[in-house]
Amino acid sequence: MDRAVDASNLGAAAIGNLSIPDLFLQADIVVKIVIIMLLVASVWVWAIVFEKVTSLRRVNRAADAFEDRFWSGGSLDELYEDEGQKPDHPMAAVFGAAMSEWRRSLRVSGTDLRASFVRDRVDRAMNVTIQREMDRLERWMIFLASVGSSATFVGLFGTVWGIMHTFTAISAAKNTSLVTVGPGIAEALFATAIGLVAAIPAVLAYNMIGTSLARFAGRLEGFGTEFGAILSRQSEERS
């Protein structure tokens, strides 16, 4: 009995002394590859999160400043010359696309054509620009979704493989003591833990950033609707 207790204590001590680097270094090569992949994915996830949060803050600040100037009552032509021709943020790009199409429509001969089709042309130009700008802002979002949905299963694969490797070692050694079983099981479960570390932030970030992107897309669409109505009225007044 004393020997059994001593062996159990020894195994527990051996497991307790295993650090995270030890778990990685002693893992099977397949488990190591899985862990490295998950760690790289996790770092990439955080890089994307930082880039998206920074970009959304920047475009929202730029949109605030642009809308303040737009609704201040100044000249649309002057605003177009300053910001619309070479836009550096999405809302200015939508404004520039609408103004450019509106000016081209006014140069088309024929009053009926101007009155009937200018709004449709302007709306199409703005919709295409909004889609293009949102596609640029949404870049790498599919990666967040992929990591969030698959990282746990990748880690689970590493765990299953590690446990299989451990059972093979147990069978070869014909020893089921905690000293033999414990480290292998710990190494295998470490892969699942890394999978969760990668997946949970990816899911949370995807939901948070996705909501912010949808809100900003709605803001662009609202501005486009209001600006399209303004240009339509001006076209009718000139016809």
Q: Write out pLDDT tens, residues 46-105.
A: 999 999 999 999 999 999 999 999 999 888 989 999 998 899 999 999 999 999 988 887
* Residue 104, pLDDT score: 84
Query: Whole-angstrom Cα distance, residue 164 to residue 151?
Result: 20
Domain span holding position 135: 2-238
Tokens of 9: 């204590």
User: What's the structural domain count of the chain?
Assistant: 1
Query: pLDDT tens across 125-138, in order?
Result: 999 999 999 999 99
pLDDT band at 166 (very low <50, low <70, confident <90, very high): confident
- Contact by Cβ (8 Å): 140, 195: no
- DSSP H helices in the chain: 2-16, 20-25, 29-70, 76-79, 90-107, 111-137, 141-173, 178-238
Between 174 and 64, the higher pLDDT residue: 64
